[in-house]
Amino acid sequence: MFALRASVLAAFALAAAACEDHLHSRDTAHAHTHEHVHKREYPQVPLTPPYRPLVWSDFNVIHTTDTHGWLLGHQKASFPEPDYSGDLGDFASFVTHMKQIALEKDVDLLLVDSGDLHDGTGLSDGYPAGSVDGHETNTFLERLPYDLMTVGNHELYEYADAYDTYINLAPHLNGRYLASNVNITILNEDGEAVSLPMGNRSVKFTTRKGRNIMSLGVIYDFTGNSANTTVQFASDMVKEQWFADAIADEPDLFLLVGHMPVSYDHWPDVFDAIRVVHPLTPILIFGGHTHIRDCRQYDGRSMALESGRYMETIGADLDAAKDNSDNITFTRRYLDQNRVTYEYHTQQSNATFDTEAGQNITQGLLDLAIAYDLDYLYGTAPQDYSLSGAPYPSNDSILTLFIAEAAPVALAINNSRASIPNIMITNSGSQRFDLFKGPFTKNDQLTSSPFLDQFLYIPNLNFSIANQVLPALNQAGADERRRKRDAFEREMRRSDDIRAVYNEWLREMNERAGMEKRAESAGNLTLGYVTQDYCPGAGDDTMHIAIPYYDTPDFIGSNAPNVSDDTPIDLVFVDFIEDQLLGILNGLQSAQTYTESDVLPYSDILSNEILGLYAQAEWN
């Protein structure tokens, strides 16, 4: 077995949720405008550079995960957004320079991805009718020299997306698109339905430096996949004969990629099955799905890394794996995804950094944004509105903006019940990302508030009863909120588990920072991630002050009308929470048992249109 030293650069990650945009076709009082941008500007605010060079070793890996369509990077001026302002063209140029450095150092450098390529921004999700979510953005990812890719849950919610991945993306990887526990059903040449692996179960290959690598690509125990796709649990996969055959021969290194968290999930099922056969072989694992920066060592000769989300992070390293039973000393690096980071580590200037291929990718993505009309302008936001960086309720909260300000304005348009007092309720998961000061466009709408929920209502409820529904919903908690919803809504459209893990991560960072430490660092550091994971040494490549974090309730509501307790009002809510709301309402009173037959449509305006209509009315 080769002696091994290795570096891992945990590369970028991104996300948001898929939706269709209806605002463009809706008649409004204001004509929209366009601000087509043919050349993306270099960040106009100073960015903090890394504070130390990368650790190059004999074996190096760049990892990306959860890119979710954020291929034009974060383009807003409010921190921490500029930290993540690089686009896929910048990243492609970075990879090219890194490959050249690897050649000069005569070491291996691989590029791998752990899935979830779309459902996040207008660039992937703003496609015209008849197209497929993420199809066009995938063609740009195909231009990068990925050695391994694997399937994520967002490739599996819709069969059309899964089939497009199987037919177009997977073949581009020439046997290195891995789907160890995922099958897709297609029609064979005889028109018969057959279930086949969505990619390769496993792959063995040799690096430029002659290292023998064995790889698998595993997704977590996902149950929300579409019909005609199947996901086998990892604990069952390791019992299959193909798995035993795949790991029988000892490689120099097991390099596992998968859309599965490296903490508190089922990677140990795979890891332990390999260790039974190969107790000392180095194992590198690259996970994903929960959108955090995380690192674990399952034993002294392994490392498992998760590289964040939303094209925000890049980095990781491992060092000194010897042909013996000694523990391996690993290092890893989480890189902020921007040109300052890239130029620092490739020792390039702004004038020399861009490659022709990188520039072509950037221009192609800008052209795609124009084709999708993503600069359709609804209005200009007067300030930042945060999802978790501001308390709820407050004037700085996007949750307050949505339900207390925007929804009452938008839902009153052409509504015969607009004059009747009401209380409006939705779930806080209806909003997916911050909304920033400046132009509010179709892309911002798709990113911040993408879900296509319908607004319903129950008429003539006494205010005293209706006013108790929101606090009762929040007391019931998130578990009951998801009751009776199908897996698509439960796992894709709301991603509650992901949000819970990510929010807990932000909460821990915020608590470690503390108000005193944050005040001491003010003016010296910009907002960003301050990672404390479970591997030795410091992982963050750039020093930041932790992003403020505030807990939010599961459900949010509009301001209660100023009426007497016995005044009949409308109780307005989104269809996503209908089942639980009816149960709560029936528990609050006994005068009537409310059922779906008592629920009526309140408006033909969907939740993903609210902010755009409000911007047209109030931000012009």
Strand ranges (E), 166-291: 177-178, 182-187, 193-197, 202-206, 212-219, 229-231, 253-259, 283-287
Q: Are 131 and 95 in contact (CB under 8 A)?
A: no
Last-in-domain residue among 315, 343, 370: 370
Q: Are residues 433 and 360 in the same domain?
A: no
What gap in Å lies between CA 470 and CA 481, rounded to an integer? 12
What gap in Å lies between CA 206 and CA 77, rounded to an integer? 44
Q: Is residue 23 part of a domain?
A: no
| Segment among 2-6, 117-121, 305-309, 436-440 with least mean pLDDT | 2-6
pLDDT at 284 over 60: yes
**CB neighbour class for 548 (10 Å; exposed up to 12, middle 13-18, buried from 19):** middle
Q: Are 10 and 257 in contact (CB under 8 A)?
A: no
Q: Are residues 362 and 386 in the same domain?
A: no
Query: What's the pLDDT tens digit per position in 477-500?
Result: 644 434 434 443 444 333 447 888
Q: Are residues 449 and 536 in the same domain?
A: no
Q: From the CA atom positions of the chain, what is the Rg in Å?
A: 25
What gap in Å lies between CA 577 and CA 581, rounded to an integer? 6
pLDDT score recorded for residue 325: 73
Q: Are residues 507 and 567 in the same domain?
A: no
Q: Are residues 85 and 191 in the same domain?
A: yes
Q: Are residues 161 and 227 in the same domain?
A: yes
Q: Are residues 263 and 402 in the same domain?
A: no
**CB neighbour class for 472 (10 Å; exposed up to 12, middle 13-18, buried from 19):** middle
Q: What are the Cα distances from residue 186, in Å, to 183, 197, 230?
A: 10, 10, 12
Query: What's the pLDDT tens digit per position in 48-62?
Result: 999 999 988 888 999
pLDDT score recorded for residue 79: 94
Find, among 201, 218, 70, the residue nearest to 152 by Cα: 218
Q: Is residue 35 part of a domain?
A: no
Q: Are 366 and 607 in contact (CB under 8 A)?
A: no
β-pair type (193-197, 293-296)? unpaired
pLDDT at 78 over 70: yes
Query: What's the pLDDT tens digit per position in 535-584?
Result: 988 999 999 999 999 999 999 999 999 999 999 999 999 999 999 999 99
Q: Which domain holds residue 563?
A: 378-477+554-618
Q: Are residues 385 and 262 in the same domain?
A: no
Q: Are residues 63 and 200 in the same domain?
A: yes
Q: Are residues 564 and 535 in the same domain?
A: no
The number of folded domains in the chain is 3
- CATH assignment at residue 282: 3.60.21.10
On the question of a cis peptide bond just before residue 46, with omega within 30 degrees of 0, the verdict is no
Q: Is residue 541 part of a domain?
A: yes
Q: What are the Cα distances from residue 596, in Å, to 65, 465, 579, 588?
A: 41, 18, 8, 17
Q: Count of residues for the chain?
A: 620
159-189 CB burial, b ≥16 within 10 A, e <16: eebbbbbbeebbeebeebbbbbbbbbebeee
* 3-class state of residue 438 by DSSP: strand
Q: Is residue 26 part of a domain?
A: no
Q: Are residues 247 and 156 in the same domain?
A: yes
Q: Is residue 32 part of a domain?
A: no
Q: Is residue 25 part of a domain?
A: no
Q: Are residues 277 and 387 in the same domain?
A: no
Cα dihedral sign, 601-606-610-612:
negative
β-pair type (438-441, 149-150)? unpaired
Interior angle at CA 256, CA 255 and CA 258, nearest 5: 150
Last-in-domain residue among 315, 337, 370: 370
Confidence of residue 219 (pLDDT cuts 50, 70, 90): very high
What gap in Å lies between CA 87 and CA 482, rounded to an integer? 36
- Prediction pTM value: 0.89
* 3-class state of residue 581 by DSSP: helix
Q: Is residue 77 part of a domain?
A: yes
Q: Is residue 575 part of a domain?
A: yes
Average of per-residue pLDDT across 110-122: 95
Find, among 132, 135, 126, the residue nearest to 447 by Cα: 126
Query: What's the pLDDT tens digit per position in 377-409?
Result: 999 999 999 999 999 999 999 999 999 999 999
CA dihedral 431, 437, 443, 449 (to 10 degrees): 10
Output helix, strand, coil percentages for the chain, rounded to the nearest 5.
30, 25, 45
Q: What is the percentage of the chain residues whose pLDDT exceeds 70?
A: 86
Last-in-domain residue among 324, 351, 370: 370
